Amino acid sequence: MSAAAIGQPFDDEPFSLTAIADEIMERHPGYRVEIIGGHLLVTPSPDAPHARALTKLMRPFIAAGLDDGDTEVLQNVGVWLPTGAEDYVIPDLAIVDADIDDHLVENNAYDPVCFRLVLEVTSSNWKDDLKTKAVAYAQAKVPVYVIVDRKHQRVHVLTDPTGEQYEHHRPYSPGETITLPRSIGAQVTLDVDQILKAAQKKAD
């Protein structure tokens, strides 16, 4: 989607995508702005099913002990990308090393070395999660990328980043279960039906 037109308050300052991103978020509270490959990605506020799916997803990670000890389960924490001076992306959910505070780069984004898993729940701009962000996370060498694809009713698990892509990409359908790599810090199994159901609007 496109954001509202932004004025030109930066005439006397060096051009900065970060400054433009900050202005968009200030003028449109609730919007998420990311910079990938030197381009702004603007995402509207998530709906209730999006948030509900994240709540359901956090539970098995926390139950497996991933929110204590060596790791934490966090939402909306920025990943600093190696693709540009201002590039960063904000996953919906992440499993991170417990010492993440020591790895702040700037603009509330952290060194990707801290991230064991990132997860996105698709919104109206679902192509960004399936394509643009898959490349960005692979370039950042994030080991595991999970996508809850509400558009096509699938859950994708991407592992083993090499260059601009993940070597392994497995889509899971309703009725299947997912066992995530133990490299995230514990054995975690996800129920695809449960996740996709939570991510849909409740019937009237």
Whether 123 shows a pLDDT value over 90: the answer reads no
Q: Is the pLDDT at 18 greater than 60, yes or no?
A: yes
Euclidean distance between CA atoms 169 and 165, whole angstroms: 9
**pLDDT reading at 5 higher than 80:** no
Beta strand 189-191 with 177-179: parallel, antiparallel or unpaired?
Answer: antiparallel
pLDDT over 60 (residue 8): no
The whole-chain average pLDDT of the chain stands at: 88
Residue 24, number of CB atoms within 10 A of its CB:
17
Percent of the chain whose predicted confidence (pLDDT) is above 90: 67
Sheet bearing 32-36, strands edge to edge: 39-43, 32-36, 88-89, 78-80, 109-110, 104-106
CA distances from 85 to 27, 41, 106, 113 (A): 24, 16, 11, 17
pTM, full prediction:
0.87
Task: Kindly tell me if the per-residue pLDDT of 181 is higher than 80.
Answer: yes
Res. 46: pLDDT tops 60? yes
Identify the pLDDT of residue 41.
82
Give the C-alpha separation, 193 to 175, whole Å: 6
Higher pLDDT, 173 or 12: 173
The confidence band for 15, taking pLDDT boundaries of 50, 70 and 90, is low
The pLDDT value recorded for residue 6 is 42
Mean local confidence (pLDDT), 82-103: 94
Q: Mean of the pLDDT values across residues 25-36?
A: 78
State what percent of residues in the chain have pLDDT above 70. Answer: 90
Look at 2-16, 44-58, 65-79 and tell me which has the smallest mean pLDDT. Answer: 2-16
Separation between Cα atoms, residue 95 and residue 75, nearest integer Å = 9
pLDDT computed for residue 180 by the predictor: 98
Strands of 78-153 (E only): list them: 78-80, 88-89, 93-97, 104-106, 109-110, 115-121, 144-149
**Nearest to residue 78, comparing CAs of 118, 19, 37?**
118
pLDDT tens per residue, range 124-153: 888 899 999 999 999 999 999 999 999 999
| pLDDT score recorded for residue 38 | 79
